[in-house]
Amino acid sequence: MGEKVVAGTFDLSDRHQYRIKLRQCLAALARLLEEQRFDRPKNLMGLEIELNLAGPDGMPRMMNAEVLERIASRDFQTELGMFNLEVNIAPHRLGGRVLDRLAEELRTGLAYAHRKANEVDAGIVMIGILPTLSRQDLVSANLSDVDRYVLLNDQIVAARGESFTLDIEGVERLTCTSSSIAPEAACTSVQLHLQVTPGKFADVWNAAQSVAAAQVAVGANAPFLFGRELWSESRPPLFLQSTDTRPPELQAQGVRPRTWFGERWISSAYELFEENLRYFPALIPLCEDEDPIGVLDAGGVPQLVELALHNGTVYRWNRPVYGIADGVPHLRVENRVLPAGPTVTDVIANAAFYYGVVRALAEEARPVWSRLPFDAAARNFDTACRYGIEARLEWPRRGRYGGTTQVAAVDLVRDELLPLAAAGLDAWGVEPADRDLYLGVIEERCRRRVNGASWQSATYHRALERGLERDAALAATTRRYCELMHTGEPVHTWPVGLPELALPLG
């Protein structure tokens, strides 16, 4: 939620006026779609990565303001917690050597940021959840000193009206409460953007929803929170619970949470924006002076600021985005399911898999979402988050008999989705050498049944076997993770355990 907002309070008339303005924005969006005012295909993709700051001891460092001042680059920005940063990579056209170019840009940018962080005894860590975070780290006093975060926290807390309850049962169980949304800051992710035409939006979004579980299964990298081993990818349940504006009574009534997989396949982008207005009250009812219908009548392009702001407070795992570039409106699908890390190579491999498989699935004559119930896709997502590389997913049977069957995620990815991803990257015009290099990383993860989460868990348990206490084992695992992350070799090649007892995988 990058809009510049100013902290303040809202009265009843503000919310009423904002609802009116949102409806005007939605009507303007409908007209833009009807009048075919959107940008033509440009095959543009974008990348954002949320990062952690940690010291040489593996513990979080609450100093993003100092580090950002030293980095002094517009590519790096604050994130929710004082131990968070975000790096934004400029949009690239999919094709040619784009994957290698992205990897090089990321390596250069992150190495520079890491050097600057070192100047204040901190370092950059790409990981889904920093294992050494404690409950004392995730309090409102450690939210970044930025008005929009203060305001968002205040409004979500006010909407809920009581403390947030975290209750996640995985390998172990975590139960605790929080008086703020600060635990959300533990979730550091990769966001993959893809600009699409209105006509292709629904197919791309449906395809992205279909494969979200497979993305998480091979890419999970967040097994620990507050000293407990939970799900392979603990970000989704944590994000849901730490932003949940619903007290238990509204949950019992079936009111939808703001962190949401969704409930149906769609036929247009408009449906998602309309759902946002229908189901989710405004959290930050700030109105601009723009008259979106008047701007359209005058031949202009409305900013739809209120619609964009509201959309940014509904946390879909695949989010619709309305934007304007060079005076022309466009639509993007923002894929938000992946954790950060472990290495630049792993991040680009995850991106290659996503952009390839989504392109191929969106162009199938008999698309997977016509054969897979939406409820099954939602269950798959939860299953993949819980079990990661060991997940079994529901997927349409091949052949003429129809129906679905249970299949190991690694087999589904290796046998069916990776060939589709290769075909999709070919369709984008990506260089075959890059295609094979990065999809080969995904294939090796499947072959060895290794991802960031499985490496973290295995190394942590080795540390416990050596006699380390829980907190010391998590800190040692984090330090070792950081060492290996900075070598740049993909996670499936990392030896398990601490250096003295390191053993090769595979």
Contact (CB, 8 A) for 296 and 31: yes
Task: Report in angstroms the alpha-carbon separations of 172 from 21, 223, 232, 269, 339.
Answer: 46, 10, 12, 39, 21
Residues of the chain with pLDDT > 90, as a percent, come to 89
**What's the number of CA atoms in the CB half-sphere (13 Å) around residue 245?**
21
Confidence of residue 11 (pLDDT cuts 50, 70, 90): confident
Task: Look at residue 6 and tell me whether its pLDDT is greater than 70.
Answer: no
Q: Which two tokens stand for residue 495?
A: 């030896």
Residue 88 makes CB contacts below 8 A (sequence gap 6+) with 46, 47, 48, 75, 76, 77
pLDDT for res 8? 53
Confidence of residue 1 (pLDDT cuts 50, 70, 90): very low
Confidence of residue 13 (pLDDT cuts 50, 70, 90): confident
**Sequential DSSP letters for 191-217:** EEEEEE-HHHHHHHHHHHHHHHHHHHH
Confidence of residue 76 (pLDDT cuts 50, 70, 90): very high
What mean pLDDT comes out for the span 99-113?
97
Task: Look at residue 5 and tell me whether its pLDDT is greater than 70.
Answer: no
What mean pLDDT comes out for the span 219-225?
98
Task: Look at residue 7 and tell me whether its pLDDT is greater than 50.
Answer: no
User: Which is more confident, 8 or 7?
Assistant: 8
- Local structure of residue 389 (DSSP, 8 states): G
Give the predicted TM-score (pTM) of the model: 0.95
pLDDT for res 402? 81
pLDDT tens across 137-166, in order?
Answer: 999 999 998 888 888 899 999 889 999 999
pLDDT tens across 392-441, in order?
Answer: 999 999 877 789 999 999 999 999 999 999 999 999 999 999 999 999 99
